[in-house]
Amino acid sequence: MKREEIQNLVEQVIRNVFEEMYFMSPEPVERDDSSVSIPESCFKAKVRVRNNPEMFVFYASERLVTSMAKNLLGTNEATEESDLLDVFREAANVMAGSLITSMTLDGAVGPEIPAVERLQACSEIETPQGAMFNVAGELFVLAFVHSEG
């Protein structure tokens, strides 16, 4: 696939998942766009790709993950930490699975179970090259990087 085709596919998958699961509309942004800033607290999900040296890394601000959980669960009440982790894990799983399915014909390649954590310092969001989105004024990042092992 050409780079432009991959970029369009990523945007389509991210848009579909956010709109269908969380009732939110993501808009792609450039790294120098000032409409979103690096959050103080965020979530990170790593999804290794089975039989491939690459992995997806997803980042989202704490506020965005909280909004995703409230929209998915249909509540305005405070959300438990475990629910936030589960909601972000599921989002990463669905997005990675959709991207892999759309990009490959080889059934031997697939997503592994996402590893999710909360980061107190989110400066690493600036490091990986990837797609950045503004979702309700909050930052969402998807990077496709070489796996650490």
Q: What is the pLDDT of residues 14-26, one digit of tens each?
A: 999 999 999 999 9
Bridging pattern class, strands 26-29 and 110-111: unpaired
- Residue 33 Cα distances to 27, 37, 89, 111, 142, angstroms: 12, 8, 27, 31, 16
State how many domains the chain has.
1
pLDDT tens by residue, 90-136: 999 999 999 988 886 566 778 899 999 999 888 887 766 789 999 99
Q: Cα–Cα distance between 70 and 107 in angstroms, integer?
A: 34
Q: What domain range includes position 49?
A: 3-146
d(CA 33, CA 27): 12
Closest C-alpha among 133, 82, 95, 123 to residue 13: 95
The domain that holds 43 is classified in CATH as 3.40.1550.10
